[in-house]
Structure formats: C-alpha cells, structure tokens
Amino acid sequence: MHVDSAAILQMDASYRKHLINSFLGFKPGLLIGTKNEQDQTNLAIFSQVIHLGANPPLLGIIFRPDSAERHTLQNIRKNKYFSINHVHEKMIEAAHQTSARYDSAISEFDAVSLTIQYIDNFEAPFVEESKIKCQCSFVEEKRIEVNQTILLIASIDAIFIPDEFIKADGFVDSAAAKSIAVAGLDAYYACETLNRFSYAKPNKPISSIL
C-alpha cells in the first residue's frame, strides 16, 4: 500500500477505520473503572491512554465524545475518581466484551464477569483480577477542535503493583505480569522482552541493563 491523503479519504469507512487505528502499532490495553451518581459501576477498555508526566504524575486519555465510551467520560466528569487496570492474557475476552454498548443500568463488571474491588478508602472501583492498577482523578479537559475529540488529563493518586513486577530502578515489568498490548480496535498481543538499554549518549555504545 502506497496511499496519499486523497486516497485515504476515499477509502471505505470501515477499512479506513481499521487501517488508521492499527498502523501506528502497539498500545496499552487498560480497563477504566468508574461509578455514576447512583453508584452504578462501569468498566470499559481503552487503548488511548498516554503518559503526560512523572512529577507530578499525570496521564491523558483520548475520548471521542460521540462514541460508546461516553459513560466513562460522563462518570469521570461527575464523580472525579476512576481506576485504571491492566489486562492480562486470561482477561482478553472479558476486556473486549466491555466495549459492547451496554445500557447504563448494567454494570460491565457483572456483564463480563470481572470482580469489583474496593481498596482501603480509595473511591474508584478496581478490577480484582488485574495485577497492576492505579486510582486517578480528573484534572482538566482539552477539546481538539479539528475533530471534537477530548484529551482528558488526570492525576495519578495511588498505584498498586505486586513487588515481584517492579525492578530495583522503579521499572515495572508488564511482560512478567503477562499484561497484553493492543493494536487497532480488536487485536490483543502477548509481549516478550527483547532488551532494556542504558541511557544513550553520543559516542558511547549502549549496553543491556536487563
């Protein structure tokens, strides 16, 4: 395939959606847990989550305002707190099923048979089956006018990770936790470590730090 923007715009809409969503490669696969004003829980898979900063710890989530994810966005706007939970290899069917457009009266936790977990006094509903998880809270929204998508900016309030997956330098080994990667709208991958490299400097070869 060798296409320019005119050819991309003339593609069949479904074909273009799969192509453009998938061709940038691998993304995280993360379950976002929220509650609405009636304390009804909601769970939805997202791959559009991005690191925004370590100090203070911040992340961003891209939302399409008219898409199936609107329950999650509405709940975060109203309730402020939410959880982010890793998906491991045995959870991919359940995680994918959360993308169905369930009625707001139905909790995806029940619909896909994942277990609601509350941790200490943290407000967000977590996924008990997930090994790596965090609580976040709403900071602000940025509207991307060109296509009306929304970048939601959130602070990371708490992190829960089994110690066995954390290296001495703070690095979290998602492959050891059997967390999956996502591509496009519907593809799930196992990841295997190739290498970790030292901080790169000009005129100095990098070395493995595995």
| End-to-end Cα, the chain, rounded Å | 37
Are 185 and 24 spatial neighbours (Cβ–Cβ below 8 Å)?
no
With 0-12 / 13-18 / 19 or more C-beta atoms within 10 angstroms meaning exposed / middle / buried, residue 10 is exposed
| Token pair for 19 | 């192509």
Smallest gap from residue 76 Cβ to a copy of itself (A): 16
Looking only at residues 55 through 84 of this chain, which bind a copy of itself when binding is defined by CB under 8 A? 55-60, 62, 64, 84
| 36, 40, 52, 116: residue in contact with a copy of itself (rule CB under 8 A) | 52
The helix (run of H) or strand (run of E) holding residue 15 is helix 13-22
For a copy of itself, how many residues bind (rule: CB under 8 A)?
A: 111
Binding mask 106-135 vs a copy of itself (x if CB under 8 A, - otherwise)? x----x--------------------x-x-
Smallest gap from residue 114 Cβ to a copy of itself (A): 14
**Cβ–Cβ contacts within 10 Å for residue 160, how many?**
17
| 43, 51, 78, 124: residue in contact with a copy of itself (rule CB under 8 A) | 51
Q: Is residue 38 a contact residue for a copy of itself (CB under 8 A)?
A: no
